[in-house]
Structure 1
Amino acid sequence: MPDAIDERPYHHGQLRTALLEAAESRLREHGADQLSLRDLAREIGVSHAAPRRHFPDRQALLDALAEAGFDRLDTTLRTALAGSDADFPSRVRATMTAYTRFATENAVFLELMYTSKHRPGATRIAKAAEAPFELMRELILQGQALGELQAGEPEQFGIVLFATLQGIATLINGGVVKPELLDGLVETAVEQFLRGARPLA
């Protein structure tokens, strides 16, 4: 009975949502090492056993956060793409700007996403990660079909572009480059990519 009293504010799955929201907030403030199911339960006002109904252990909570992060990244990229102009350079620019902003505004979150993705057995996270990267692959295939990019393996173009943008985000997150330079750096990266990958005359 005590558990039922403690969990009164959380019904029909709201407890899981509340735990994820509180966990994300703690992740941003203190990092993954400081996440504790017991502390989260205390923070949102439920019994210390209640979170285990949704997350059997701390790793399950971290995995759920990483999976949600890739879902959010996918939504962010697709929203940016839907709101861009129809021409290919604009679509690339909008998507890549959205990615680097996500990467710099969610640095700790993104680190958890990528480290969790490569953990053995993390199949749900790997599956969630497929969507945003498939979107980038489709964008490159579109550029090739339009004659904006050279023919060839789209993964090669994608890796080069991703490495460039992730590098920019890493420099900003590490304090090496000022955050206000982000958009200008992305613009330069996109222009150089489009120029370098253009079909040979």
Structure 2
Amino acid sequence: MLETDLPTAAPRKTYHHGDLRQTLIAAAEAELIEKGLEGFSLRGCAKRAGVSHAAPAHHFKDADALLSALAAEGFDRLNASMAEAMDAVDGDMMEKFVASGVGYVDFACANPALFHLMFGSRRPDHESPPLAEAGGRAFAVLTGNVATMTGRDYATDPAAGEDVIAAWAMVHGLSELLIGGKLHLPEDMPRPAFKALISAIIRRSGPKI
């Protein structure tokens, strides 16, 4: 019998080092959306990802570590949403400031479960470097916009701090009202009308230049 005629074992399904981690993060988001934090488990994520219940331990020590990684990815996606909204406008800095707020609200409304994990849950380790750094990058969009518009530094000027807090409170509170169904908008509201409404609300809390 030739060597090539020897039977071969069926190929095993394997993951490259980075693939399993990202697959588990995607599974975690789906699990979170479907079951909420109360029903969230590492075993459930493993099953959804199609791997053994022991496989996640290669990347995450427990369910909270996986949630921390998902939250960090959420902040990166929030950052991207704000950046994309800002890049889409050709106006002055106020227009870009407003656009970043629209991007924030857009992200929240499109990802309510993830948004609440990022901002309303104690399960992620917000002190872990990846999550802290991702959150810092998203926050820097707001502080950077305020500094550009006013010439005031959030880190050293109390007035800039007030501007940042007011703007953040506005867009975050608006997001929570929309997600929670407390602020009722027409389901068939055209996209331009929605953006115009959100923009008008954000302008009311904009920094005083």
Q: TM-score range by the shorter chain?
A: 0.7 to 0.9
Show the counterpart of 2:174: 168
Q: Percent identity?
A: 31
- Hey, what's the Cα distance between the residues in 1 that align with 2:117 and 2:70? 8
Instruction: Give runs of aligned pairs for residues 1-201 of structure 1, distance below 5 A.
Output: 8-114=13-119, 115-116=121-122, 119=125, 121-145=127-151, 153-180=159-186, 182-194=194-206, 197-199=207-209
- Quick check: 51-60 or 6-15, which moved more? 6-15
- Quick check: 137-146 or 88-97, which moved more? 137-146
Cα pair 2:68 2:131 within 8 Å, conserved: yes
Moved over 6 A (4+): none
Q: With structure 2 as the length reference, what TM-score do the two structures score?
A: 0.79
Q: CA deviation at 1:88?
A: 1.6
CA RMSD of aligned residues (A): 2.6
In the alignment, structure 1 segments of 5+ residues that lack a partner are none
* Larger radius of gyration between Structure 1 and Structure 2: 2
Change (3 A) 1:198 1:156: closer
- Hey, what's the Cα distance between the residues in 2 that align with 1:87 and 1:80? 14
Q: With structure 1 as the length reference, what TM-score do the two structures score?
A: 0.82
Alignment size in residue pairs: 189
Q: Deviation per CA, 1:90-147, whole angstroms, max 9, x where unpaired?
A: 101211100011112112111111234985744432222111111111101111149x
In the alignment, structure 2 segments of 5+ residues that lack a partner are 1-9
Q: CA deviation at 1:193?
A: 2.6
Change (3 A) 1:50 1:139: same
